[in-house]
Structure 1
Amino acid sequence: MDADSEMQTVHRPLELDPKRAGRLERTPYGIIDIGSNSVRLVVYDQLGRAPLPRFNEKSLCRLGDGLAETGLIAADGYRRTVEAVRRFRAIADAMGVSRLDATATEAVRRAANGRKLVEAIREEAGIEVRILSGAEEARFATLGVISGFFRPDGVVGDMGGGSLEIAEALDDRVGEAWVSLPLGALPVESILQDRGNAKKRIDAILKESLPVSLARHTFFAVGGGWRTFAKAHMLANDAPVPVVHGYRIAAADARFFAKSVLRLSPAKIEALPGVSRRRARTFPAAAMMLDRVLKHLAPKHVVFSALGLREGWIYSQLETDERYLDPLVEGAQLIGLPAARVPDFATALVAWTAGLEKERTPAEMRLRVAICALSDIGWRDHPDIRAEESYRRVLQFPFIGLDHSERAFLAVAIHARYAGRLDAAYLSGALGLLSPPERRRAEILGRAILLGYRLSGGTPSVLVNSRLLVGPKRLRLEVGQAARVPDSEAVAERLSLLAAAMKVKSIEITQIETGHSLLKIRG
């Protein structure tokens, strides 16, 4: 069996598991990333498939400053790094972190005193630092993209402070080809400051070291500089979903924006919305590299990833079975089920909504399962604001495993689940990301879930004793004796909302045991 066949036969479960979502034995996990520009601590709620950050802080130590000239990490950056790691260790201990890993990349790898720094950290903070090779950097950054998207296919570029790593993401594996180039933010910043043609110098390095055989239709952009680029582009273009992860634009648009950035003065760059003061200095370097890499590899689209080396490291620590859990479904149930009144009800909803429309792909099924997991997130809100508040939460929750159009689909469906109207003005941006069939499917799914809650009172035993039968011109709700409110106005009203979304005019409620008709409505 070849590799492609093996990937297709791997079991990728999409089932909800309330016990796993609500387990109490999860303990925080932390990782310290010692980069060429900054040192960062991220503490996650767990070491798992969809870890949620509990704490995220960085110290701008700029270990790579002057490294090319001296071959050494400067004394100031050296000392600040040790102090930052000591502080991060104290925070992690106070948070009860069960495991704290630490990795170091290009600057520590290249510096003559890099290993001395690692020794100092071990002595003063009690932390073992793993110095990653260029190959490991490329691999873990690509695993981060694999962990954060649904079966990605493309080339991953991770631009850090000291280097640029490029490798292939091929569904669930990292491709054989990879490169690590000395084109991180700090060295490119130096190139831009030198006299001469910076563009030609960078192009020459890419031509010599970056094989065009790595080119794919999609380029996944990883790293703080490129995340800032995405934020600035989103704000400049009034993007409807204000989330970097999964932001997708045409490569031509990315290059156009990059060139416009490179024409700005330092003062204007610092004033750009989305660009922090810390990032302003190296922002032109990020723009320049994105422009030149896209020119060299010529992809059709750029997708920005909030996940990279750290998340790839986490993904690599998981058991094989856990790696194949769906990241969106896992994240949705970790957020939705513990907050629900009856966590088991979401599982019943998954089965109850399965026959609404034919799902052609697992990608469509996973969206429905995630929506069922999130279907009770607004129950504590006032009824007047549930639809809008739930929509806005879902639109901006830190989910992974989805792009912006899929995020919009989830948010619109949850809005419909809370009886929200699709002509609400605040929906216009999200609806613009969906095709007419996708809008219709989101509304149908939301209205069906609304009906399911009203019919059963959020009780699984009542819901499983009912079913929806959908025909080309008829919608029939069959209920068992456990559902003793089928003729209520509230149920009929919500059934009518579902029928309207499905453009069905004939509605009927019947009793399963007797076949007796309890309600008929014909348009």
Structure 2
Amino acid sequence: MDGDEDTHGHWSPFGRPLFNDPEARALSRVGVVDIGSNSVRMVVFDGAARSPAYFFNEKVLCGLGAGMNETGHLNPEGRDRALKAMRRFGKLAEGMGLEDLTVVATAAMRDAQDGPEFRRQLESETGLKVWVIDGTEEARLSAQGVLLGWPGSYGLVCDIGGSSMELAEISGGSVGRRITSALGPLKLKDIDGGRKAREKHIRAEIDRLVAHMGTQRDRLFLVGGSWRSIAKIDMERRGYPLHVLHEYRMDAESVRETLAFLEGQDPDALRKRCGISSTRMALVPYAAEVLAQVVEAFQPQDIAVSSYGIREGLLYEQMPQVLRDRDPLVEACRFAEAKDARNPGFGRDLYDFVLPLFPDSGPARRRLIKAACLLHDVSWRAHPDYRAEICFDNATRANLGGLKHWERVWLGMALMHRYRNKREGTRFEDLFAMLDAAHQQEAEVLGKAMRFGAMLWTLRDVDGRARLDWQPEQATLTLHLGSESHVLYNEVAESRFKSLADSLKADSWKIAAEA
């Protein structure tokens, strides 16, 4: 597709696909390692699409920062575990053919007296270059990770690790003020004087953070394993049906109720119900004390959990600006279509075909419609008896950025109806309640429109294009069939067209043949 077509909107409003451009293909294997105070993790991204796919993801809980308040040195056992992990990760990178593995170390190694010596040991024994970054750089990278999933977002990113907590403001796709603090749970647990002493220390640190960051009344983005564990506990308390942490939303009252709930539970039983490791659960009460004061001090409008952080920020760092500016959902769906659909490229034509059914849809709804059309056929290899449920499961639980939880369910329901007329009798009915009746009907209409449109593959031929005309005031649905597409309209197509009309609550539906 040439540039003139792109410039004049042939691909609008989403632009020409970029994942095959040389700058994007250079991101097809991006390896990063994050040496934190509590864990060491290696991630290899398939980053050619705007929303990253996790080709490899492994974490080792090392506890490098445990006991540093008392000794000033890295934990000896943690050093041994981290060194073994890094040897393994270096060998894995070599086996994967990664040209470069970006390794960053954060609070524990920058604060420990033996941090420089351990860095030299790691580099000598693994051959990898280790970058020990300061707190403000850590804050910037974490904020960029949030921007990877929420382009154009605004608010305050709060990233808690084992030995530190960073804040960064984001607005209009840029990172602004940022600051670091020693509010990591590994450091808090070593404070003498119990809870009262910790609360006093936390309050003093929060006051310093507020003085630097100023008034923040927008969204609070929570990054880090301790925050995600608290979100899991919030889900357990609420009986929340969709166990996806990314984009999970809370508010100040929910946080207060969950922290009170946490104190009244048996920690071991609770962690097992929530799927939290014992090592992580031991730090959660300290992180909870910090979160309570962060929420009280900054009074965010709402709170969103981000599964993206410093590692995703390192990927974002390597993305060309033209890719950063793209919608992560649409680009990921395009990538999936190109890789897995039977007829790659058909999703764009299907989008044009179904869009007249949604005349009042704004940009937010159109991007969901576009995503559904791109994904409508990527699960075709699944067994026909389970294809509809697999579509729903994939949409609601896939690693996709830029999707609210209710939007995941909406997208999943549309894809389910791509293969199935009825949604009753599935194992997902508890999730359907996340949508009101109007949104459920809208998703059903889209699914049935895709189901019908998929029968008319010649609508890729512009001269013989089929098109829909929906007049909601008159409740009239018309199918215009061109000379090339008319032959494809048979009894099965008619049944699917009628099912679509029924979902629209059309008073009449008809076929208009065109020469």
Q: TM-score, normalised by structure 2?
A: 0.90
SS across alignment from 1:498: helix
Partner of residue 506, structure 1: 508
Matched residues in 2 for 1:133 and 1:425: separation? 50
Query: 2:317 matched to 1:316?
Result: yes
Partner of residue 488, structure 1: 490
Matched residues in 2 for 1:237 and 1:330: separation? 33
| Residues 248-397 of structure 1 aligned to structure 2 (within 5 Å) | 248-397=249-398
Q: For 1:13-55, what per-residue CA distance to the aligned partner results, in whole angstroms no more than 9, with x for missing partners?
A: 6246397399988642210100011111111223652221122
Range with greater deviation from structure 2 (476-485 or 320-329): 476-485
Q: For 1:385-408, what per-residue CA distance to the aligned partner results, in whole angstroms no more than 9, with x for missing partners?
A: 221221112111111111101111
SS across alignment from 2:455: helix
**% same residue:** 33
Change (3 A) 1:445 1:150: farther
Change (3 A) 1:16 1:494: farther
Amino acid in structure 2 at the alignment position of 1:310: R
Partner of residue 201, structure 2: 201
1:26 and 1:45 in contact (8 A); partners too: yes
2:68 and 2:112 in contact (8 A); partners too: yes
Using the TM superposition, give the Cα deviation of residue 419 of structure 1 relative to its aligned residue in structure 2, in angstroms. Answer: 2.5
Amino acid in structure 2 at the alignment position of 1:509: I
Partner of residue 475, structure 1: 477
SS across alignment from 2:378: coil
Range with greater deviation from structure 2 (244-253 or 416-425): 416-425
Partner of residue 412, structure 1: 413
Change (3 A) 1:307 1:256: same
2:63 and 2:75 in contact (8 A); partners too: no
Using the TM superposition, give the Cα deviation of residue 238 of structure 1 relative to its aligned residue in structure 2, in angstroms. Answer: 2.7
Matched residues in 2 for 1:116 and 1:245: separation? 37
Q: For 1:59-104, what per-residue CA distance to the aligned partner results, in whole angstroms no more than 9, with x for missing partners?
A: 2221111222232223332233222111111011112223210111
Amino acid in structure 2 at the alignment position of 1:246: E
1:235 and 1:273 in contact (8 A); partners too: yes
Using the TM superposition, give the Cα deviation of residue 246 of structure 1 relative to its aligned residue in structure 2, in angstroms. Answer: 0.8
Partner of residue 516, structure 1: none
Amino acid in structure 1 at the alignment position of 2:469: L
Using the TM superposition, give the Cα deviation of residue 141 of structure 1 relative to its aligned residue in structure 2, in angstroms. Answer: 0.8
Q: For 1:330-363, what per-residue CA distance to the aligned partner results, in whole angstroms no more than 9, with x for missing partners?
A: 2222223311111121121122223221354322
SS across alignment from 1:338: helix
The gaps in structure 2 that reach 5 residues or longer are 1-10
Matched residues in 2 for 1:388 and 1:344: separation? 24
Amino acid in structure 2 at the alignment position of 1:256: E
1:269 and 1:280 in contact (8 A); partners too: no
Partner of residue 399, structure 2: 398
Partner of residue 85, structure 2: 84
1:475 and 1:499 in contact (8 A); partners too: yes
| Residues 154-233 of structure 1 aligned to structure 2 (within 5 Å) | 154-175=155-176, 177-191=177-191, 194=194, 196-211=196-211, 213-233=214-234
Q: TM-score, normalised by structure 1?
A: 0.89
Matched residues in 1 for 2:463 and 2:33: separation? 47
Matched residues in 2 for 1:455 and 1:198: separation? 66
SS across alignment from 1:499: helix
Range with greater deviation from structure 2 (29-38 or 73-82): 73-82
2:160 and 2:227 in contact (8 A); partners too: yes
Amino acid in structure 2 at the alignment position of 1:200: K
Query: 2:105 matched to 1:112?
Result: no
Q: For 1:84-126, what per-residue CA distance to the aligned partner results, in whole angstroms no more than 9, with x for missing partners?
A: 1111110111122232101111111112221222211111111
